[in-house]
Amino acid sequence: MTQQSWLASFVLTFVPLFIVIAAVRNLPFVIILNEERSPSERRKLIRDAVITALILGVLFLFLGKFLLQIMGISIGVFAIGGGVILLVLSITYLLSNETHIHEKEELVAVVPVGTPLTVGPATLTTLLLLGTQFPIYWVLISFVLNIAIVWVIYWQSTKILLFLGKAGVTVISKVFSLLLAAIAVNMVIQGLSIIHVLHLTN
């Protein structure tokens, strides 16, 4: 593999996952959930959320196609479903001015922070699609690096909020939501192509 193809494989697997995961978009949720917790409780919540997201993503990357085959669901249909869900979520993020997550239960690190906020249907669909287009080790490397970025952003959530301000976080969140909408449409198109409803030309 040439250096150019190596770089292309990395960029084309890393960037879609970075945009779909969009850790900055989740900062308001993480901050709300952490505001009444002690430093040790915050560290535990972030650790558990990141581990949950990592395990779920890796398992689905390696076993997702097998599970879909057992259930009789094609990758194309799954991609269309994930794209539709992502489109609805991105539109909701774009139109919403406030968060709606106020739970304080112990399992909040797993649900909703670990999943579906960090790794949800859109991320799983992206992993599955990338796994059919690139060597799986590139997808795995890109996913792990993205999860590492998530950990850093969540860990520094308070400092990031102070630096950007609520307005700054909101603006970045809206931009990522717009990019998510574009990725959602692309997922639906790719899904339609996989099930031979739509024919794409290079």
Which of 23-27, 91-95, 101-105, 122-126 ranks highest by mean pLDDT? 122-126
> DSSP 3-state assignment of 193?
helix
**C-alpha distance across the termini of the chain, in Å:** 22
Whose structure tokens read 């494989």? 9
Task: Please enumerate in sequence order all residues whose Cβ is within 8 A of that of 155, keeping only pairs 6 or more positions apart, or say none.
Answer: 43, 46
Give the count of alpha carbons within 13 A of 191, CB side only: 22
pLDDT value at residue 134: 93
Q: What single-letter DSSP state applies at residue 106?
A: G
The predicted-structure confidence for 71-107, as pLDDT tens digits, reads as follows 998 888 888 887 887 788 778 877 876 544 444 445 6
Average pLDDT, integer, range 179-196: 82
pLDDT at residue 111 greater than cutoff 80: no
Average pLDDT, integer, range 187-195: 84
Average pLDDT, integer, range 183-194: 83
Buried-exposed string 94-123: b where 16+ CB fall within 10 A, e elsewhere: eeeeeeeeeeeeeebbbebbbbbbbbbbbb
Nearest to 25 by CA among 183, 187, 133, 131: 183
| pLDDT band at residue 14 using 50, 70 and 90 as cut-offs | very high
